[in-house]
Amino acid sequence: MSKNTNKIDFYDDANHDYRDFWVGRDYEHNAEVVAFNKLLNKRNYKVAMDYGGGYGRITPILLDHADKVILVDPSIKQLEIAKEKLDSKRVEFLRQDKKDNVPAADNSLDLLVMIRVSHHLPDPNPVFTEIARSLKPGGEAIIEIASEAHFINRLRYLKQLKAVPKEPVPVGVHANGKEDDTPFVNHNPKTIERQLKQVNLNVIDKLSVSNLRHKVFKDHLPQSAMIAFERAAQRPLSHLNFGPSIFLLVKKS
C-alpha cells in the first residue's frame, strides 16, 4: 500500500467543486447530523477541531457543542469557501501544511472530529498518533470510517467466497475523472478499532450511518422516513457494521 503523499490536488482543482458532491445528498448529510447529536448528546466542549473540515459543512454542528472550533484543511480552496460561509468569531481557520499533522499543541483539544477523511488515508496510523497526542487526557474524537465491510459489500465478498480484507482497499474514480495524488480507500472497521486502541484511543460509542444509501431507497422512500429510520437504527446496526459509514466516538485514556 502506497504512503500518503503531500500533494493534495483534488480539493484544490479549479474544475471540481466539492460542494457539488452534496447536491442531492441531503439524506446523507442529515443522517450525519443525527449521528453527531447522538454521539455528542448535548455535551459542550471548550476547544474542538474539525480536522479535514473542507468547506466547513460540519463546522456549524460543532459550533452548537463547542466554545471554539478550529477548522483545519490542507486545501486552500476549501478554506477560502469556508471563510466566506462561516461568519463566526468562534471559528479559527488553519491550513494544514504537513500531511498527517494535527496542528495543535500536546494535550490541548477537548474534541476532534474527522469526517469523510479516512477515505483519503491509506495509512491512518500517523494521523491517529497525532490525534492521541493533541487531545487532552479524557478528550474525545469522532472518527468516521469509510467502510469496506458494509452489508452489501459483505454479500459481494461472500459470493466470491472471500473475506473482507483487513487492509485498506483502493476504491472509486475521481469525480473530475483526473488522475492526481489523492488516494481513495475504504477501511475495515475492525482494523481501525484495533489501530485506535494501540494509541490509547478507546471506542466508547459507535454508530452505523447512512444505512439506506441505496438508489432503491432514495428513489422510493420519503426522506423523513429515512431519517426516522436512521434515528432508530444507527446504534443497533453498528453492532453489525451494517452501513457504509461508521462513526466511532473514542476517548483518550
Ligand X SMILES: C[S@@+](CC[C@H](N)C(=O)[O-])C[C@H]1O[C@@H](n2cnc3c(N)ncnc32)[C@H](O)[C@@H]1O
* Closest residue by Cα to residue 247 from 134, 96, 143: 143
- Identify which of residues 99 and 218 has a Cβ nearer to ligand X in the complex: 99
**Could you say whether residue 117 binds ligand X (CB under 6 A)?**
yes
Who contacts 193 (Cβ-Cβ below 8 Å, separation ≥6)?
203, 248
Indicate the Cα dihedral angle 188, 193, 199, 205, nearest 10°: 140
The angle subtended at Cα 47 by Cα 69 and Cα 203, nearest 5°, is 105
- Identify which of residues 45 and 128 has a Cβ nearer to ligand X in the complex: 128
**Interface residue with ligand X, options 27, 104, 111, 120 (CB under 6 A):** 120
Q: What is the b/e burial string over 5-44, where b = at least 16 CB atoms within 10 angstroms of the residue's CB?
A: eeebbbbbbeebbbeeeeeeeebbebbbebbbebbbeeee
Site for ligand X in 167-226 (CB under 6 A): none
Cross-strand bridge partners of residue 114: 143
**Interface residue with ligand X, options 34, 58, 142, 192 (CB under 6 A):** 58
Residue 147 to residues 205, 244, 246: CA-CA distances in angstroms? Answer: 17, 5, 7
Find the shortest distance in angstroms from Cβ 11 to ligand X.
4
**Could you say whether residue 134 binds ligand X (CB under 6 A)?**
no
The angle subtended at Cα 64 by Cα 24 and Cα 225, nearest 5°, is 40
**Interface residue with ligand X, options 73, 130, 140, 148 (CB under 6 A):** 73
Find the shortest distance in angstroms from Cβ 114 to ligand X.
7
Cell triple for 55: 468547506
**Could you say whether residue 243 binds ligand X (CB under 6 A)?**
no
Which of the ranges 85-93, 117-125, 195-203, 225-233 carries the binding residues for ligand X, by CB under 6 A? 117-125
**Could you say whether residue 4 binds ligand X (CB under 6 A)?**
yes
**Per-position x/- string for 35-54, each x denoting binding to ligand X as judged by CB under 6 A, each - no binding:** -----------------xxx
**Interface residue with ligand X, options 115, 135, 164, 196 (CB under 6 A):** 115
Find the shortest distance in angstroms from Cβ 174 to ligand X.
12
Give contact residues for ligand X (rule: CB under 6 A): 4, 8, 11, 52-54, 57-58, 73-75, 78, 96, 99, 115-117, 120-121
